[in-house]
Amino acid sequence: MSNIDLTGTFTAIITPFTKDGKNIDYTAFENLIEEQISAGIDGIVVAGTTGESPTLTWAENDELIKKAVEMVHKRILVIAGTGSNSTAEAVIHSVEAEKNGADALLVVTPYYNKPTQNGIYDYFMQVNNAINIPIIVYNIAGRCGVNIETKTLLRMRDTLQNIKAVKEASGSFEQAQEVRKMLGEDFPILCGEESLTYKLIKERCGNGVVSVMANSHPAEIKKLVELGRAGNFEEGDALQAELLEKMNACFIETNPIPIKTLLAKMGKCELSFRSPLVEMEEKNEKKLLNTFGL
């Protein structure tokens, strides 16, 4: 199994569609990837929440990951979103992602069917046993309807050899503290709540971020993470204060609607979503663009 560094700044990259929404715009996708690499981002997360994975077919999901690996060409890490509410599907597509060259997997908790803690363990065990690359456990109770308890995460870390990090998006600073206390300093915690990132890093409860805003402002997010990790809190506090309103604006409506709207206004992709995601309400769009000076 690859021994890779799962700390730092990772961009939850969008999936750009053609104007009619029927196909993935791979030209725009490649341009976005090149911008991320130029900004010094440590890796990209492909086909995650921000990548609109729920409205991708599994064939598209697999192809998107394969294309990303080819475009990146080992310059940064490619982390593939392969979670599902069907364990069998998660296994199949995790195996496919590994075959297609992904460096690691981001595996979300099963959603909608609300498994027990033992069910969550069984799901991750089956994915773990099918592959030989690192797994980042993705805990996002707000979208999945179930929280991974820290004792369950500890059990997974201790018994499943590929569980190497967690993306903590519960929105709870206290849960991140508990994970740090129970799993120790050597287990990477990636923040999945943009506005909490700097606080988690500053309080030694975070090792990096899977960022939405880094789609549009990768250098700024990377700098914030690096300042926090280096203990340069005077400069870090100032940058956090400068970026906080923009971070919050990226979530004025359901992610990834605002960030994709912002990127479209910047000329980086079409303003194209797949239903049930739709374009922003006019008042929210104006607020978003005003916040970013567009």
CA dihedral (112, 113, 114, 119) positive or negative: negative
**How many Å apart are CA 174 and CA 188, to the nearest integer?**
16
The pLDDT value given to residue 1: 44
* CATH code, domain with 205: 3.20.20.70
Is position 225 within any domain?
Answer: yes
- Output the six-digit token pair for 166: 């967690």
Is position 253 within any domain?
Answer: no
Long-range CB pairs of 250-255 (<8 Å, 24+ gap) are 250/194, 250/212, 250/213, 250/288, 251/194, 251/212, 252/280, 252/284, 252/287, 252/288, 253/280, 253/281, 253/284, 255/49, 255/50, 255/212
**How many Å apart are CA 187 and CA 266, to the nearest integer?**
37
Is position 212 within any domain?
Answer: yes
Q: What is the DSSP string of 184-246?
A: -TTS-EEE-SGGGHHHHHHTTS-SEEEESGGGT-HHHHHHHHHHHHHT-HHHHHHHHHHHHHH
Catalytic residue positions?
138, 167
Is position 236 within any domain?
Answer: no
**How many Å apart are CA 221 and CA 230, to the nearest integer?**
14
The pLDDT value given to residue 91: 98
Is position 286 within any domain?
Answer: no
The pLDDT value given to residue 269: 98
Instruction: Print pLDDT tens along the chain (294 aa).
Output: 458 999 999 999 999 999 999 999 999 999 999 999 999 999 999 999 999 999 999 999 999 999 999 999 999 999 999 999 999 999 999 999 999 999 999 999 999 999 999 999 999 999 999 999 999 999 988 888 899 999 999 999 999 999 999 999 987 889 999 999 999 999 999 999 899 999 999 999 999 999 999 999 999 999 999 999 999 999 999 999 999 999 999 999 999 999 999 999 999 999 999 999 999 999 999 999 999 999
- Between CA 67 and CA 280, with CA 270 as vertex, the angle to 5 degrees is 120
Q: How many alpha carbons fall within 13 Å on the CB side of residue 131? A: 32
Is position 277 within any domain?
Answer: no
**How many Å apart are CA 224 and CA 160, to the nearest integer?**
32
Domain count, the chain: 1
In the block, residue with structure tokens 């940058």: 239
Q: Which domain holds residue 217?
A: 8-230
Q: How far is CA 164 from CA 53, 106, 218, in A?
A: 23, 11, 24
**How many Å apart are CA 99 and CA 85, to the nearest integer?**
22
The pLDDT value given to residue 263: 99
Q: What is the DSSP letter of 24?
A: B
Contacts of 174 (CB under 8 A, 6+ apart): none
Is position 291 within any domain?
Answer: no
| pTM exceeds cut of 0.85 | yes
Q: Within a 10 A sphere around the Cβ of 36, how many other Cβ atoms?
A: 24
Is position 262 within any domain?
Answer: no
